[in-house]
Amino acid sequence: MAKPKNLIQASTVFERVLHWVLAGSCLLLFMTGLGFMFHSLSFISRFFPGGYLIMKWVHNIDGIIFGIAFLFALVAWGKDTLFFDEDDKKWFRVLGGYLWEVEEVPEAGKFDAGQKTFFMVLFLFWFTMVGTGIFMWFPIFPPALTRWLYVLHALGVLVLGGFIVIHIYLHTCGNPGTFQVMGHGYVSKAWAKLHRPKWLRDVEARRRSI
């Protein structure tokens, strides 16, 4: 794709395809999982020819896709998200300026402390959901233990679901201009200055050195 004028590339094609495979598989897991979990949502099975049985297979196979996609996500974003620096600690003190008026939001690099937290939570729950899911699918443990895996799996849905709702809000209407990072992949300089000033300085320094 030709570079749009005056815009800066914020994500590669690989990152975008990966994001939508990860997000799509995750949302499909939620949709099918909730269809099993709540009787009032059992109508979801009607979207699948074959009803419950096919929905169950879709859930299990999709779990494998999500599990593998997150391994790629670790490679793509792990190095930029799985640590906190001094600016991130300051970010937490003012919670990124989201909840009350602050004089200044500490500078972020490619991802701010909130996005890094989201990734760490996703990492933890990827492990929990895939781990519990495998042994629910192949119940090799005694039934008493397997029942606890169901409880853990359901708790994971609640926590991860909450974080994903916040993630979607903050990357769409909560911060206009951010969606395009995972849309066409380019952002304006003004957006980068506001959301990723440290990353922008790195990009500009790299450009000067070429």
Binding-site ranges for ligand HEM (CB under 6 A): 19, 22-23, 26-27, 73, 77, 81, 111, 115, 118-119, 122, 164, 167-168, 171-172, 178-179, 181-182
> Measured from the CB atom, is 92 or 148 closer to ligand HEM?
92
* Beta carbons of 87 and 112 less than 8 angstroms apart: no
Nearest distance from residue 52's CB to ligand HEM, in Å? 24
> What CA–CA distance (Å, rounded) separates 210 from 207?
5
Nearest distance from residue 11's CB to ligand HEM, in Å? 6
> Measured from the CB atom, is 111 or 186 closer to ligand HEM?
111
Nearest distance from residue 80's CB to ligand HEM, in Å? 8
> What CA–CA distance (Å, rounded) separates 60 from 72?
19
Structure tokens at 148: 């606890």
Residue with tokens 């003190």: 93
Nearest distance from residue 70's CB to ligand HEM, in Å? 7
> Measured from the CB atom, is 117 or 146 closer to ligand HEM?
117
How many C-beta neighbours within 10 Å does residue 70 have?
20
> Measured from the CB atom, is 56 or 171 closer to ligand HEM?
171
Q: Cα dihedral sign for 172, 174, 176, 180?
A: negative
* Beta carbons of 13 and 3 less than 8 angstroms apart: no
> What CA–CA distance (Å, rounded) separates 150 from 135?
10
Nearest distance from residue 91's CB to ligand HEM, in Å? 14
| Pairing between β-strand 186-188 and β-strand 7-9 as defined by DSSP bridges | antiparallel
> Measured from the CB atom, is 75 or 154 closer to ligand HEM?
75
